[in-house]
Structure 1
C-alpha cells in the first residue's frame, strides 16, 4: 500500500492540515464535498454544511484567528465578516500552493479501518482508496440539534443552521430565538433591527455576555497576557473587574445573569445585545413549555403570539462516514480523544479542529496538524494506551468540576493553555526516542 494520508474536509481545519502536511513532505489527498474551500465560512456553501448567515462576523479578533505564518490583511477590521474570512482562506491556499491536492465535489461515503495505519476510504463517486492515516477535519457545527417541546408551532420555524437572510423578519413580526449562545444572540439582534414587532430570547438559564471590546481593545487579545497560573477564583475576579469597566452589570440592561460562576460555561460574545436589550427591542423569556399553534407558552406561565421561531440550540458532533459501531457520539457529543486529537484505540486516525475554545479554532487546528505530522514522521511518539485514557479521564473530571454538564461543553478548551500544551508535545518529541515512522 502506498503511504499516503486522507484529509476529510477543506474548511479552516482541513486547509491548515493540508498546508502542514505539504510542508512536511507527507503525501496526501484532501476530499471536499463542496466546490470550493472555506467550510463553515463559505456562505451558501454547496456542500450543505455551512451555518453562515449573510451578516455573520467573527467573534474572535483577526489577530487571534490568523494562522501563524499568514497574517490577515492590514485593512481588515478587528472583526471581519465571513466574506473576508473566506477570502483570507482562499489567499492562504493560493499562497502556499496546495489547491491542486484538494479533490472538490468529492464526498467521503465511508471510512473503514482495515488494520492499524490502514484505512479504506469509499468516495461518493464510487472510487475506493487505501490510506496509511486519516485526518478528520469535517467540522462540528453542521448537524443541527433540536429541543423536544410538546405541541405544534404553525408559524415560520427553523434552526439557526438554516438561517441566512434577515428578510424573514420584515414587518410587524414577533420573534422567539431559543438559546443564549453566540448564534442565538446574533440572530436575535438582527431580528430586532428588522422587525417592528417584539423579539424574545428564550433560555433555561442566563449567560455571561462579554463585549467584543474592553477599553477599546478586542477582548480576546487580552488573553495573551496569560493568568492561568492564578487560582480560578482570582481569574474570575479579574475578569469580573474588566467586565464591570466595559459594561457594568448586565442585569441593568435586562439581560439575565448566569447562575454559574464566570469561566464555568462558554460565554456569549456580543457588542450589540446591551443596546438592543436596554432599548427593549430584545426581551427575555424562560424555556418554552408548550407550542400552541401561533402562540408559545413559557415555563413562567406567560404566553405570546409568535410569527417566527428560531432554534439556536447547538449541534451534534457527527461522523456519517463511520459505522455507528466504530464511532458514534451524536447523543452526548462525548468525543473521547487524547488531547482532542488521538483516539487511543485507532492508530492512524486523527481529528483536527474538534475543540471549542474561548478564541479561534484555526491556530489551534494548525498546531494539532503540526503535532500529527511529527507523529506520522516519527519525530514524536505517543504514550501508551492506558496513559492516554488516564489523561482523557483527568480532562473529563476537570470539565465536570468547572462546567455544567451539557453537549456544548464536551470539547471545551482554554485557548492559550491548550496551544502551549500542544506546542510542548511537539517540542518534547525533538528530545526523546521516537516511535517507528509511518512516513
Structure 2
C-alpha cells in the first residue's frame, strides 16, 4: 500500500467577490486551502452592490430594492445581522452587512478589503486582483492584463452568482477537456 501525503497548501482561484464568492473564501479557509479571489469590479457584493452605470457582465439590483427573504434566513451561520437591521433589508444595508463579514472570524486574519479597491493586491493569504486576462493552457497559472502572473492554481471555482459569465470560459473548458 502506498500513502501519499501532500504538504503543499492547495490553491483555489475564486472567480467573483459576490455572496457565493465570500462564502467560498470562508469554506476554503475552513478547509486549510489558500483562496485567491478575482473580482471584475472594485467592490464585493455582486448584484447587491447597486450601480447606476451598467457594466457588461454584471447584474445589479435597482436603487430601491429590498430583499424579500428575512435577515435570519439569509444570514451567515457564524455572523448574524445586527438586531437593529430591519427584517427585510434594503440592498445598501445588506451590502454593509457583507462588508462587516470580512472583518469577522475567520476572514479577519485574511484581509481582502482595501480602501484603494481598484488597485488592490493584498499580499496576505487572500489576494484580490482585477482584470484576469487568461489562464495558461495547463490551467494552473493565471495571467493578468498588467502581465503579472500567479503561478500554480490547483482549482478554479466559479462564484459569479446570478450572472454566470466569464471571459474565455468556453476556451478554458475546451482546453481542460483535451
TM over 0.5: yes
| Pair 1:108 & 2:115 matched | no
Aligned length: 150
Encode CA deviations 1:145-196: one digit per residue, 9 max, x unaligned: xxxxxxxxxxxxxxxxxxxxxxxxxxxxxxxxxxxxxxxxxxxxxxxxxxxx
Match of 1:381 in 2: none
Match of 1:322 in 2: 169
Match of 1:138 in 2: 160
Query: In the alignment, is the contact (CA less than 8 A) between 2:47 and 2:162 conserved in 1?
Result: no
Change (3 A) 1:72 1:111: same
SS at match of 1:64: coil
What is the CA–CA distance in structure 2 between the aligned matches of 1:25 and 1:45, rounded to whole Å? 38
Answer 1 or 2: higher relative contact order, Cα 8 Å, separation at least 6: 2
**Root mean square deviation of aligned Cα:** 2.7
What is the CA–CA distance in structure 2 between the aligned matches of 1:324 and 1:140, rounded to whole Å? 21
| Pair 1:95 & 2:104 matched | yes
SS at match of 1:119: coil
Change (3 A) 1:39 1:99: farther
1:92 Cα deviation after fit: 0.6
1:32 Cα deviation after fit: 1.6
TM-score of the superposed pair, with normalisation by structure 2: 0.72
TM-score of the superposed pair, with normalisation by structure 1: 0.31
SS at match of 1:135: strand
Match of 1:225 in 2: none
Equivalent of 1:43, from 38, 46, 50?
50
1:45 Cα deviation after fit: 8.2
Query: In the alignment, is the contact (CA less than 8 A) between 1:7 and 1:135 conserved in 2?
Result: yes
| Pair 1:18 & 2:25 matched | yes
Structure 2, unpaired ranges of 5+: 1-7, 113-125
1:102 Cα deviation after fit: 3.7
Change (3 A) 1:70 1:46: farther
Give the ranges of 4+ consecutive aligned residues of structure 1 lying more than 6 Å apart after TM superposition.
none
1:23 Cα deviation after fit: 2.3
| Pair 1:55 & 2:64 matched | yes
